[in-house]
Chains A and B, each alone.
Chain A
C-alpha cells in the first residue's frame, strides 16, 4: 500500500491519457483497496493480492443475488384471467432472472479459475469524496422533495450554494453569483418558457 502511494506521488500530473477519469491520482489516502480498486496502472500488481479477489467477487455476487431476487419477486405476480398458463406475466421476468444468475456464475468462475483477469480498476475513491457523495445525495433528495412545496427559486439557489460549498468553492462570486445565474436560467426556461409549474 504505502509503497504504491509513493509511486503515485512520483507520477503526479502525469496521469496516463487512458486513465478512466483523467483527474490525476495524486493525493495519498488511507482508503483500503478492499473498499475500492487501484488505478489502471497498478492493476497488474493488485491482481496478485488476495484482498482484491474479494472485491472481484462483488460483481458476481451482486448479479446472482439480483437474479435470485427477481426470481423470488416473480412468485408474487398473480396471474389474472384465463391468459396465464406457462406463458403468463411471470415468464419474462423469470427468463431475465435466469440470465442474471448464469452471467453472475460465469463471472464467478472467471474470478476463481482464470489466473489473469483483465479487469480495469476505476480510480480510487477518497474519504472526502465518499462523504461528499453521501452529503450530496441527502441534499438532492431533500431538494427533490421541496419541488412544489417551497418556492422553486429559493430552494434551487440554496441547494446550489450548499453543493458548491461542499465541493470546496469558497469565493463569494462562486458561492452567490453562480447559483443566482443557474436559478435565473432554470426559472426562465421552465417556469416561463415551458410553463412547467414549479
Chain B
C-alpha cells in the first residue's frame, strides 16, 4: 500500500476496493440470496461449504465471500418467512409472527420492503458497533460467565408471555414443551442420554432446523390442505398493497427500528446468542413499547420490522465478540473461525491491536454487502411475489418438497426429514387447538443455555454463584418484575376509584 496512506482505516478500505475483492463480494451476495430463500439451507451451512473453496484465496477475498453470504442470507430468509410462513433460516423466525399475517391480508409488498429496510438499518447498526465499540464492548461481554448468562436467559424466557399473542397459558404450555424438547439427547453436564428411546440419532438432540421448518412451514401447509375447499381451488391473486411505506408508516417505523437495532446489537455481543433469539427479543421489546400491542402477532408492521432489524443487528455484535474474544458469537462465526486460523488471522483481544486494518476491511465489506443486497432485493422482490400467484396446490408441493430436500441436506440424514414431518403434524395440532408455536421455539433455543449454565454455575460455587453476581441478580429481578407487573397493575386497578382505568388483560384469557 501507499506509505502516505498508512492509517488502518484507509488500508482497510483500499484492500476491499480491489477488483478481485469486489468480484468475491458479488459471488457472496448471489450465493447468500439463494441460501436465504431456501428453507433448511442455513447461512452456517453455506459458509461451511464455502470455506472449502475460499481457503485458496487471500484473507480479505475469503472474508468477503463469507461475510457477504452471511449478510445477504439475512435478507433472503425473510422472504419465505413472510410469503409462506417458513423461515428461510432460523434468524427469520420472528418474521413469521407478523410478516405472514401481513401477506395474508394483502400487504406483502409493504411487509417485504419494510423488512428489507429494517434489515439494512440493523446491519449498519451492528457494523457501527464493530467499528466504534469493538474492544470496550467485548470487554463487557467478558463479565458474562455461566451465572450471568443464566440470568440473561431467564429474562429471555419471560418473552414467552409476549410471544403467546394473548393465549398466555397455552403459550406457557407450548414453551414448556419447547424446553422439554431441548432436553432430548445427551445431558450437557453428565452426558447421560435423556428421552432418546434407544434411537441413536436422538443422542444429538432434536434437529432445531427440522423443528422450525416443521412447526412453521409444514404445519401451515398441512392446515391449508386440511381446510381446502374445491370451490376456492384457485387462490385469488393477492393484492400486494403499496410497495413503499408512506410518510406516516415511516414515522411509525422509527421506534421499532431503533428498538430492534439496540436489542440486536447488544445481544450479538453475548457469545452463542444468534439472530433467532435476537429477532424474537426485538419483536417482544417493540411490542412492550408499542401503542398497538394487540396488533402484534396478527400483522403488525412494527413487529415485523423490529424483529428483522434486531436479528440483522446481531451480525455486527457477533463478529465483534468473535474477533475480540476468540469465542464464536454464533454458529456462523464458529465456522468462520476455522477459516480465519488457516489465513493466519488469530481472533482474540490482540487482533484489534495488531491488525486494525483487517477490522476496518471487515467493516467495509459488511457495509458494502448491506447496500448491494438492499438494492438487489428491492428490485427482485416483485418477482418473488409472483410465487404467491401460483394456485395453492403448486405452492404446497414446492414448500413440502423443498423443505424435505433442504432438511435432508443439513446432515445427509433421513431421520431429520422424519422429524420435520412429525413436527409438521405436531404444529398442525397446535394451530388447530390454539397453541402458539413461538414459545415452543423460544424454549427450544433458550432451554439448553438455561439448563447448562445454571448447572455449571451451581457446580462452580453452589447457588452462591448466582446470588452473588450483581448482573445475574439484576437480570432475574427484571424478569420477575416483567412477569408480575401486569398482575400488580390489575390488582391496583381493582381498588375503588381506579375502576375507570382501562385494565389490561392478564393471564386470565386462555
Contacts and interface: CB of A to CB of B under 8 A. Distances in A.
Interface stretch (B166-174, B275-283, B352-360): B166-174
Interface residues of B, number: 76
Name the residue among B172, B226, B417 with the largest chain A CB count within 10 angstroms: B226
B226 A125 contact: yes
Interface string B434-471: 11000000010001000100010011000000000000
B169 A122 contact: no
Contact of B434 (A59, A92, A130): A59
A167 B176 contact: no
A168 B392 CA distance: 10
B176 A89 contact: no
A37 B432 CA distance: 8
B230 A27 contact: yes
Nearest to B429: A62
Interface in B367-412: 391-394, 396-398, 400-402, 404-405, 408-409, 412
Interface string A23-53: 1111100000000110000000000000000
A196 B192 contact: no
A83 interface: yes
Contacts of B340: none
B425 A77 contact: no
A10 to B, nearest CB: 14
B195 interface: yes
Nearest to A149: B414
A100 B230 contact: no
Contacts of B104: 21-22
Interface stretch (B183-191, B313-321, B328-336, B486-494): B183-191
B226 A164 contact: no
Interface stretch (B62-70, B133-141, B217-225, B243-251): B217-225
A24 B231 CA distance: 9
A122 B190 contact: no
Name the residue among A21, A66, A144 with the largest chain B CB count within 10 angstroms: A144
B401 A156 contact: yes
A96 B232 contact: no
Contact of B224 (A23, A84, A147): A23
Given A136-B400, A164-B394, A103 B170 contact: yes
A33 to B, nearest CB: 13
B155 interface: no
A36 B401 contact: no
Contacts of B223: 21, 122
B509 interface: yes
Contacts of B38: 189
B67 to A, nearest CB: 20
Contacts of A93: 180, 183, 194-195
Contact of A96 (B41, B105, B180): B180
B177 interface: yes
Contacts of A136: 222, 225, 400
A140 to B, nearest CB: 6
Nearest to A70: B180
B99 to A, nearest CB: 15
Nearest to A156: B401
B412 A129 contact: no
Contact of A21 (B183, B227, B417): B227
A198 to B, nearest CB: 8
Q: Dominant SS at the B interface?
A: helix
Contact of A197 (B412, B421, B508): B412
B405 to A, nearest CB: 5
B402 A23 contact: no
A182 B397 CA distance: 9
Contact of B414 (A90, A126, A147): A147
Given A59-B170, A96-B176, A99-B172, A23 B228 contact: yes
A51 B497 CA distance: 41
Contacts of B414: 144-145, 147-148
B173 A111 contact: no
A184 interface: no
A156 B414 CA distance: 15
Nearest to B418: A144
Contact of B401 (A73, A78, A137, A186): A186
Interface in A68-125: 70, 73-74, 77-81, 83-84, 87-93, 95-97, 99-100, 102-104, 106-107, 110-111, 114, 117-120, 122-125
Interface string B413-437: 0100110010001001101111100
Given A96-B177, A100-B180, A118-B166, 17 more contacts: A21-B227, A23-B232, A59-B433, A66-B180, A77-B187, A80-B191, A90-B194, A91-B455, A102-B172, A118-B510, A125-B226, A129-B227, A140-B400, A140-B404, A163-B401, A186-B405, A196-B412
Interface of B: 34, 38, 41, 49, 104-106, 166, 169-170, 172-173, 175-177, 179-180, 183, 187, 189-195, 222-233, 298, 391-394, 396-398, 400-402, 404-405, 408-409, 412, 414, 417-418, 421, 425, 428-429, 431-435, 443, 447, 451, 455, 458-459, 507-510
30 contacts: A23-B224, A59-B510, A62-B433, A77-B187, A81-B190, A83-B190, A97-B176, A99-B179, A107-B169, A107-B173, A110-B169, A114-B508, A117-B510, A119-B434, A125-B432, A129-B225, A133-B428, A136-B222, A137-B425, A143-B404, A144-B421, A148-B414, A159-B401, A167-B392, A167-B397, A168-B233, A168-B393, A169-B394, A178-B397, A198-B408
